[in-house]
C-alpha cells in the first residue's frame, strides 16, 4: 500500500485495483506518463539549481532537493504504508539532521492544481514529519509555463490530513474486493495505461459511455429510465424517450435523436449521411483547383508551435499520390511564430486550406494579425480554411466511438506508418529532442505530422466518394 496507489485511486478506483492486481502485460506505455516523468525531473532539477540527489544519505547531507526516497511506516490498525514522495525540499527548521528540515513537493503539467496533488502532499507530509521529527506546514506544487518556473504553496491543514488518511483506508478496503467497474467518466481513460484493457470490456458490455455524445450525466439519466446499454438505446423511440426524459428544449431533443442514430450506426457498422447535394457540390468546386492540407504540432505548456506541416494536393484523385509535403520547423520559440508558413499559404492564395480541428485556423489568423496583415487579406485567408472535423461531424454519423483524427482515419482505412502513435507521443518526442538535440526525434515528429496530413487527405477522399454514393 503506497501513495502512488492513492494517486491512481483518486483518478479512478479501478485503476488503483489494476495497478496492484492487474496483469502487467496488458498495461500499455503511456506517453502522458513519460512526459510527466521527464518534465518532473527537469522542473525539480531547475528548482534546486542542480542540487538534487537520491536517497536518505542526501537528507543527512542536507542537499537542497532529495528524490527517490522511500519511507515505510504504519497507520492505524497496523496498516503498513510505503511513501515515495516525488521530491523533498530543504528549508529552515529543526529536524533529526540539524538546523534544517524537508517539505514535500510535486510537479504538475498544465495549469490546474488537482485534489490528487493536494492529497498526495498531505499524505506524504504526515509521514515525513514522523520520519524527520519536524513539522511540515505546507507542500509545494511546481510547474513550468512559457519557460518560467512557478511554485504554489499548499497548506497542510488538519482537514486535508484527515481526508488523506480516510481515503487511504478507503483505498485499502477497495483493494480487498473484486475489480471495480469502469469509470462513468470515460474522458479520464484517454491517458490511462489500462485503456485498451478497459475498452475491450466496455465494448463487449455495450456501455452507453462508448457512444459519442454520452457522458456520465446522460448515461445516468438514461439508466434512470431503464436504458442500460447501446442495444437498448438503439432500439428506443425518440419521441417516447423525449417524454420519459421530460425534454422540452429543442437542442436536447436533437441530441437525443443524435445519440440514438449514433448507437444504431455503432451497432450496424454503417455510416449515416446527413447533408444535402448543394453542400457537396460546393465542396467539390472548392477543392477542384487544388488545396493544402495543414497540420501543426505544438507544446501547449510552452505555447510553442514547433512544426507546421503542409501537404500540397493538386488533384485529390491522383492515383500516383504525387502530393508534395513540406515540413516547416520552428525550433526556437523566440517570436512565437515562423512567417515561412504564412508565405507558403499565400503562395497559392486561391487554394483552400484543409485542416482537422480548429487549432490551425486560430493560429494562422493570430499570426496574420500579429504581423499587421490588412483586414481584407486576413478575411480572405480566413475564408480559405475548411475544418474537416466539423465537416465530418455535420455530414455523417459514423460507427465509431469518437471523431478524433486517429479514430476517423483508422475507420476509413488509413494506417500511420509508425505504430501506437498519438499527439502525446509526438509531444514526448519533442521533449526528448529538446533534452538531447537528437535529430532522430525530429524525424519521427516530421513523419508523424506527414501521416496526419495524409490521414486528413484520406478522410476527405472518403467523404467525397461516399457522400456521392449516398445522394
Ligand atoms: S481505462 Fe478508464 S476505467 Fe480503466 S482504469 Fe483507466 S481510467 Fe479507469
- Atom number of ligand 1 nearest to Cα 182: 3
Nearest CA to ligand 1 atom 5: 15
**Res. 471: pLDDT tops 70:** no
Average pLDDT (201-215) is: 92
Provide the grid cell at 255: 441530441
Write down which residue in 270, 291, 306 finishes a domain.
Answer: 270
Least reliable range by pLDDT among 24-28, 153-157, 319-323: 319-323
- pLDDT for position 469: 82
Can you tell me the distance from the alpha carbon of 447 to that of 459, in angstroms, rounded to the nearest whole number?
18
Residue 405 CA to ligand 1 center (angstroms) comes to 22
Closest Cα to atom 7 of ligand 1: 189
**Does any domain span residue 198?**
no
Q: Chain centroid to CA 425: how far?
A: 11
CATH number at residue 137: 3.90.320
87-103 pLDDT tens trace: 999 999 999 999 999 99
Cα of 353 to ligand 1 centre, how many Å? 37
Phi-psi region of 68 (alpha: psi -120 to 50; beta: other; left: phi over 0): left
Please identify, among 243, 270, 297, the residue that sits at the C-terminal boundary of a domain: 270
Of 70-79, 118-127, 163-172, 198-207, the range with the lowest mean pLDDT is: 70-79
Give me ligand 1 centre to Cα 21, in Å.
Answer: 14
CATH of the domain at 380: 3.30.420.10
Question: In this structure, what C-alpha cell is assigned to residue 285?
Answer: 468546386
Same domain, 249 and 303: no
For the chain, the residue count is: 471
Same domain, 322 and 454: yes
180 within domain boundaries: no
| 325 and 440 part of one domain | yes
Ligand 1 pocket mutation pick from 18, 195, 219 by most atoms within 8 angstroms of CB? 195
449 and 405 both lie in a single domain:
yes
- pLDDT one-digit tens code per residue, 222-269: 999 999 999 999 999 988 988 888 887 888 888 999 999 999 999 999
Alpha carbon distances (Å) from 277 to 280, 353, 469: 5, 22, 11
Instruction: Specify the residue with its C-alpha closest to ligand 1, atom 2.
Output: 189
Do 265 and 288 belong together in one domain? no
CATH of the domain at 219: 1.10.150
User: What's the pLDDT at 337?
Assistant: 66
Give CA angle at 458 (456, 460), nearest 5°.
70
- Ligand 1 within 6 A of CB of 27: no
Gap from CA of 291 to ligand 1 centroid (Å): 40
**Cβ–ligand 1 contact at 198 (below 6 Å):** yes
401 CA distance to ligand 1 centroid (A)? 16
Q: Which atom of ligand 1 is nearest to the CA of 13?
A: 8
pLDDT for the residue 153: 97
For residue 241, the enclosing domain spans: 206-270
Same domain for 281 and 238: no
Does 12 contact ligand 1 (Cβ within 6 A)?
A: yes
Query: Which atom of ligand 1 sits closest to the CA of residue 195?
Result: 1
Asked if residue 8 belongs to a domain, the reply is yes
- Crossing angle for the helix pair 439-470 and 388-395, nearest 10 degrees? 30
Distance from C-alpha of 305 to C-alpha of 133, rounded to nearest angstrom: 48
Its sign, for the CA torsion 375, 378, 383, 389, is negative
Distance 7 CA to ligand 1 centre (A): 13
Query: How does pLDDT run across 58-69, given as a tens digit for each residue?
Result: 999 999 999 999
- Both 155 and 215 in one domain: the answer is no
Nearest ligand 1 atom to alpha carbon 186: 2
Alpha-carbon distances, residue 92 vs 129, 266, 453 (angstroms): 14, 61, 55
Average pLDDT over every residue of 197-211: 93
pLDDT recorded at residue 335: 61
Q: Name which of 80-89, 185-194, 259-268 the model is least confident about.
A: 185-194
How far, CA to CA in Å, does 269 sit from each of 197, 206, 399, 467?
22, 14, 5, 17
Is 183 among the domain residues? Answer: no
**Distance from C-alpha of 265 to C-alpha of 309, rounded to nearest angstrom:** 33
389 in a domain, yes or no? Answer: yes
For residue 12, the ligand 1 atom closest to its alpha carbon is 8
Domain-located, residue 182: no
Does ligand 1 lie within 6 Å of residue 189's CB atom? Answer: yes
**239 in the same domain as 287:** no
223 and 327 both lie in a single domain: no
Domain membership of residue 192 (yes or no) is: no
Task: Give the model's pLDDT for residue 243.
Answer: 87
* 141 and 240 housed in the same domain: no
Average pLDDT, the chain: 92
CA of 190 to the centre of ligand 1 (A): 8
Q: How many domains does the chain have?
A: 3
Regarding the beta carbon of 14 and ligand 1, being less than 6 Å apart is answered yes
pLDDT higher than 70, residue 334: no
| Residue from 194, 209, 219 whose mutation best tests the ligand 1 pocket (most atoms within 8 A of CB) | 194
Same domain, 167 and 258: no
pLDDT exceeds 80 at position 277: no
244 plus 283 within the same structural domain = no
At 368-387, the pLDDT tens digits run 998 888 999 999 999 999 99
Amino acid at each position: 500500500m503506497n501513495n502512488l496507489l492513492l494517486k491512481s485511486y483518486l483518478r479512478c478506483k479501478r485503476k488503483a485495483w489494476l495497478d496492484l492486481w492487474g496483469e502487467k502485460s496488458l498495461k500499455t506505455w503511456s506517453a502522458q506518463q513519460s512526459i510527466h516523468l521527464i518534465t518532473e525531473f527537469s522542473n525539480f532539477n531547475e528548482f534546486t539549481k542542480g542540487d538534487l540527489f537520491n536517497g536518505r544519505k542526501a537528507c543527512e547531507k542536507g542537499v537542497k532537493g532529495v528524490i527517490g526516497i522511500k519511507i515505510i511506516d504504519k497507520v492505524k490498525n497496523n496498516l503498513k504504508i510505503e511513501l515515495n514522495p516525488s521530491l523533498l525540499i530543504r528549508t529552515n527548521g529543526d529536524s533529526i539532521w540539524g538546523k534544517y528540515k524537508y517539505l514535500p513537493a510535486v510537479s504538475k503539467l498544465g495549469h490546474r492544481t488537482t485534489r490528487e496533488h493536494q492529497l498526495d502532499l498531505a499524505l506524504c507530509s504526515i509521514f515525513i514529519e514522523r520520519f524527520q521529527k519536524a513539522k511540515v506546514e505546507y507542500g509545494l506544487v511546481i510547474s513550468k509555463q512559457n519557460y518560467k518556473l512557478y511554485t504554489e504553496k499548499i497548506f497542510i491543514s488538519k482537514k486535508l490530513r484527515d481526508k488523506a488518511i480516510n481515503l487511504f483506508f478507503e483505498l485499502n478496503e477497495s483493494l480487498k474486493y473484486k475489480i471495480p467497474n469502469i469509470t462513468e467518466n470515460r474522458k479520464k481513460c484517454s491517458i490511462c495505461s489500462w485503456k485498451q484493457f478497459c475498452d475491450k470490456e466496455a465494448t463487449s458490455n455495450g456501455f452507453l459511455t462508448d457512444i459519442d455524445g454520452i457522458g456520465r450525466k446522460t448515461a445516468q439519466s438514461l439508466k434512470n429510465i431503464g436504458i442500460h446499454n447501446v442495444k437498448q438505446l438503439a432500439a428506443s423511440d425518440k419521441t417516447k424517450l423525449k417524454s420519459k426524459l421530460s425534454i422540452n428544449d429543442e437542442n436536447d431533443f436533437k441530441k437525443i435523436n443524435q445519440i440514438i442514430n449514433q448507437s444504431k450506426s455503432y451497432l450496424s457498422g454503417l455510416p449515416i449521411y446527413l447533408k444535402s447535394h448543394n453542400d457537396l457540390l460546393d465542396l467539390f468546386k472548392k477543392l477542384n483547383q487544388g488545396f493544402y492540407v495543414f497540420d501543426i504540432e505544438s507544446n501547449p505548456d510552452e505555447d510553442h508551435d514547433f512544426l507546421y506541416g503542409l501537404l500540397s494536393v493538386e488533384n485529390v484523385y491522383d492515383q500516383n499520390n504525387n502530393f508534395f509535403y513540406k515540413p516547416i520547423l520552428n525550433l526556437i520559440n523566440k517570436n512565437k511564430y515562423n512567417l515561412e508558413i504564412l508565405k507558403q499559404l499565400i503562395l497559392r492564395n486561391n487554394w483552400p486550406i484543409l485542416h482537422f480541428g480548429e487549432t490551425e485556423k486560430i493560429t494562422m489568423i493570430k499570426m496574420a494579425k500579429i504581423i499587421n496583415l490588412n483586414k481584407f487579406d486576413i478575411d480572405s485567408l480566413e475564408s480559405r480554411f475548411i475544418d474537416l472535423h466539423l465537416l465530418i461531424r455535420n455530414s455523417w454519423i459514423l460507427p465509431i466511438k469518437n471523431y478524433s483524427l486517429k479514430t476517423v482515419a483508422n475507420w476509413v482505412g488509413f494506417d500511420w506508418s509508425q505504430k501506437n502513435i498519438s499527439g502525446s507521443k509526438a509531444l514526448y518526442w519533442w521533449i526528448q529532442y529538446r533534452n538531447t538535440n537528437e535529430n532522430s526525434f525530429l524525424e519521427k515528429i516530421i513523419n508523424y505530422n506527414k501521416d496526419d496530413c495524409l490521414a486528413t487527405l484520406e478522410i476527405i477522399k472518403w467523404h467525397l466518394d461516399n457522400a456521392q454514393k449516398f445522394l
